[in-house]
């Protein structure tokens, strides 16, 4: 199985794909109520152990969305980028420690491209990815707020799926290339 993670200090999305590239499990870990960095990491650790047990200890590859590396006006501050980078490192180490596999990192743009998702100019990537999921992934279910917006966590689930699916496509291509 392949594990895809969209790591954040607020909500972390995860997707487990089976050998056929189908969803085995998809979900998110809501960390918003916890303010302590290390307690957030502990919540992730517990969730990863549950995923390992759910996957019958058979996670072969781990793909993680690469944390942002540079500033973009109107986006994250230096403090936020540093915090995300540290958290990404801690969760990466947890993955290595729990699964015995070194995670591989994919930039969000590369993962989307690998999955055939194009973001038209002027549109928000999260909305386009969510619509792609609804249009193309029958196993993907979503809940909405009473105002018609996706509930918290569903964008993170969608992003983790894209990372996992891109990883699955890479693994599948490498397998074909070696045979």
The pLDDT tens digits for 29-59 are 999 999 999 999 999 999 999 999 987 879 9
68-77, 109-118, 165-174: least confidently modelled range: 68-77
Nearest 5°: the CA angle 90, 96, 102 is: 110
| Residue spans of beta strands (DSSP E) within 1-141 | 2-6, 11-17, 23-30, 61-65, 104-106
State the pLDDT at residue 11. 97
DSSP, collapsed to helix, strand or coil, labels residue 89 as helix
The pLDDT tens digits for 124-177 are 999 999 999 999 999 999 999 999 999 999 999 999 999 999 999 999 987 666
Q: Return the structure tokens found at 129.
A: 């990815």
Question: Can you give the pTM of this predicted structure?
Answer: 0.91
| Domain count across the chain | 1
Please tell me the number of Cα atoms within 13 Å of 77 on its side-chain side. Answer: 2
> How far apart (Å, rounded) are the C-alpha atoms in residues 84 and 60?
25
**Domain housing 50:** 2-178
Nearest 5°: the CA angle 126, 36, 64 is: 40
pLDDT value at 71 more than 90 = no
pLDDT value at 73 more than 90 = no
Spatial neighbors of 82 by CB under 8 A, at least 6 apart, are none
> How far apart (Å, rounded) are the C-alpha atoms in residues 146 and 135?
22
Q: Specify the CATH number for the domain of residue 40.
A: 3.30.420.10
């Amino acid at each position: 199985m392949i594990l895809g993670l969209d790591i954040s200090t607020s909500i972390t999305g995860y997707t487990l794909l089976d050998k056929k590239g189908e969803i085995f499990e998809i979900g998110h870990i809501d960390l918003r109520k916890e303010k302590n960095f290390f307690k957030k990491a502990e919540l992730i650790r517990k969730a990863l152990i549950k995923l390992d047990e759910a996957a019958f200890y058979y996670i072969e590859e781990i793909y993680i969305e690469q944390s942002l590396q540079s500033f973009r006006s109107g986006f994250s501050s230096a403090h936020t980028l540093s915090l995300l980078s540290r958290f990404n490192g801690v969760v990466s180490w947890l993955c290595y420690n729990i699964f015995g596999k070194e995670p591989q990192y994919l930039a969000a743009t590369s993962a989307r491209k690998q999955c055939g998702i194009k973001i038209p100019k002027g549109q928000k990537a999260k909305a386009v990815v969510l619509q792609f999921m609804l249009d193309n992934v029958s196993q993907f279910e979503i809940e909405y707020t009473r105002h018609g917006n996706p509930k918290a966590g569903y964008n993170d689930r969608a992003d983790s799926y894209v990372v996992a699916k891109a990883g699955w496509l890479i693994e599948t291509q490498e397998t074909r290339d070696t045979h």
